[in-house]
Chain A
Amino acid sequence: MNIIVCVKRVPDTETRIRIAEDGVSIDPAGVKYIVSPYDEYAVEAALRTRDATEEGAATLLTLGDDAAQETLRAGLAMGADAAVLLRGEGSPDGLATAKGLAAELEDADAPLVLFGIKAADDDQQQVGPMVATLLGRPCVTGVADFDVRDGKAVCHREVEGGVEVVEVELPAVLTITKGAFEPRYASLKGIMAAKRKPLEQKDAPPAEARLRVLELEYPPERPAGRIVGEGPDAVPELVRLLHEEANVI
């Protein structure tokens, strides 16, 4: 089964974020970039599904600049078969990004299109279901596990208070969260092979970003806390403070 996985290049989650001088973007100096963590679960899901259905290709798609090639190579190293770089600008407007991806996916012959549930930079959690809506395909979000049988994907999704089992007819879009699809590490052989796998570049249609950043700010500092004491003997004082000062119990 052909599967397409949309991936995004984001700053490493360990990175200390500094606001750039323009006040509306982050300073890229010293930032290390990775494949967005949830996208890795999606790539893993694609590889396992491809292998289980025994034919078809797992193709990666990303909207980005030249540097995004490295993100695609990382996914190819895990075992994906091919990649497409849509050259265009990301923006804070998820719908603009979704339109660019949807235009590319419109005629794609892939019963399954996967996304990570959200990107670890803007945390907007919207592009997957937006693309599905633009394509007129059904979409299940927050899928921790799924398998494909009889033209359907049977998905386990986490919701508040439990797990839902949802069946969706293919072709469909799924957004993947942490669960069954622990991503494999790329082997050295995989990394070498990735260099020879097809990576196509195309221009994305011009995107009209209509959500704009006025400014970025740092989070408000929490006032300094204090160590109440050491060991169990500090507990009565802690409880007193929680009751009388913080009013939480």
Chain B
Amino acid sequence: MSDVLAFVEQREGEVRGVGREAVSAAARLAEDLGGSTHALLLGGPGIRGHADALGAFGAGVVHVGEAEALAEYHPEGYAPLVADRVRAGDYAAVVFPATTVGKDLAPRVAALVDVPLASDVTALAVEDGRVVATRPIYAGKAFARVVSDVTPLMVSIRPNVFQPEERSADAAVEVFEAAVDPSVWKSRLVEYRAAEGGALDVSEATIIVSGGRGMKDPSNWNLLEDLRDALGDGVALGASRAVVDAGWRPHGEQVGQTGKTVAPKMYVAIGISGAIQHLAGMRTSGTIVAINKDPDAPIFGVADYGIVGDLFEVVPRLTEEVRALKASG
């Protein structure tokens, strides 16, 4: 068993970036194992149109299941189909993205197929012919390198860590009959409420502007919104636990041990002291910037660049300078 399967997540009929990350991660493993890369894409009618493009990320075979009932992720529809594909193949590993969907789906598939699952994996390698997964434990205070005694090893990979790599491969697309019967499902989506203003989720942002207790009052968040707007696309607001617990910001923005773990290209921590639990959620960010009036704040211990000062003076100036930089082309 040297083939690797990637589960490709789609949303609203478009393949998500994390889907391409999964294919690339699977392709690198398959190459090291000497096997081929398979991808599995489930969605509504027409999703097959997105299958060919996965060849560019290394997929040799793309299995496509189309059905109206599969247009949106539903565990009762998806899990059995993914399990069927896993059993039909001869895989050393199955790669899911560790997104809300992936973290909901992968455990169910692992239980159906009866194999272990390593979640939120940050590195994959082949050693002595078997797959070794590295994953954070204790909120990233340590990392565990794990192996499975049975194949396939299921893994979910942390978003924004495995870079999608273009490599040429012609994907053979195989569309299969997706047998789904929603009438027997026991759960159903009643309503979806998008976050206000269609704000980008913190886990999907390239840059995060994050505020903590130093912001003093919820009404001051316009300072951070201005900075976010000046920085352009792909920027989301984050928050420390303290301001979420105080009711100033929604839990969806919370970064840290009881919030989200993020790894954006840049994380700007404003008025955040840097408690261990907060650092756990953002310490693997590419570039960390800290603005705090306390020179001894622990956040400066992980920051690449810091400014000690009054955020109410520093942040507006930062917004101004960023705008000027962007305007100068």
B110 and A126 contact, CB distance less than 8 A: yes
A227 and B186 contact, CB distance less than 8 A: no
Number of A-B contacts (CB under 8 A): 270
Instruction: Evaluate whether A226 and B266 lie within 8 angstroms (CB atoms) in the complex, with A121-B137, A129-B107, A142-B104 already known.
Output: no
A166 and B266 contact, CB distance less than 8 A: no
A161 and B258 contact, CB distance less than 8 A: no
Chain A contacts for B203, CB-based, 8 A: 160
B51 adjacent to chain A (CB < 8 Å) = no
What's the minimum C-beta distance from A175 to chain B, rounded to whole angstroms? 9
A30 adjacent to chain B (CB < 8 Å) = no
* B226-260 contact mask (Cβ, 8 Å, vs A): 1 or 0: 00000100000000000000000001101001110
A154 adjacent to chain B (CB < 8 Å) = yes
Task: List CB contacts (< 8 Å) of B185-209 with chain A.
Answer: 185-195, 198-201, 203-204, 207
**CA–CA, A218 and B200, complex, Å:** 32
A212 adjacent to chain B (CB < 8 Å) = yes
Give the residue among B141, B192, B195, B284 with the most A Cβ atoms within 10 A.
Answer: B141
A130 and B111 contact, CB distance less than 8 A: yes
A225 and B303 contact, CB distance less than 8 A: yes
Give the residue among B140, B153, B303 with the most A Cβ atoms within 10 A.
Answer: B303
Chain A contacts for B153, CB-based, 8 A: 211
Q: Which of B147, B149, B185, B304 contacts A225 (CB 8 A)?
A: B304
Task: List CB contacts (< 8 Å) of A138-190 with chain B.
Answer: 138-142, 144, 154, 158-169, 172, 178-179
Give the residue among A128, A165, A178, A225 with the most B Cβ atoms within 10 A.
Answer: A225
**CA–CA, A126 and B107, complex, Å:** 5
A238 and B187 contact, CB distance less than 8 A: no
B136 and A140 contact, CB distance less than 8 A: no
A210 and B149 contact, CB distance less than 8 A: yes
**CA–CA, A214 and B147, complex, Å:** 7
Instruction: Evaluate whether A162 and B193 lie within 8 angstroms (CB atoms) in the complex, with A26-B142, A133-B111, A138-B76 already known.
Output: yes
Count residues of chain B with CB under 8 A from any CB of chain A.
94
B115 adjacent to chain A (CB < 8 Å) = yes
What's the minimum C-beta distance from A184 to chain B, rounded to whole angstroms? 15
A248 and B266 contact, CB distance less than 8 A: yes
B186 and A231 contact, CB distance less than 8 A: no
A107 adjacent to chain B (CB < 8 Å) = no
What's the minimum C-beta distance from A8 to chain B, rounded to whole angstroms? 13
Chain B, residue nearest A208 (CB): B149
A166 and B188 contact, CB distance less than 8 A: yes
**CA–CA, A212 and B136, complex, Å:** 14
**CA–CA, A163 and B189, complex, Å:** 11
5 contacts between A and B (CB under 8 A): A160-B100, A160-B201, A161-B201, A216-B137, A222-B288
The list of the 10 closest CB pairs from A to B, nearest first, reads A211-B116, A133-B111, A126-B107, A232-B317, A138-B186, A168-B187, A231-B309, A160-B201, A225-B304, A129-B107
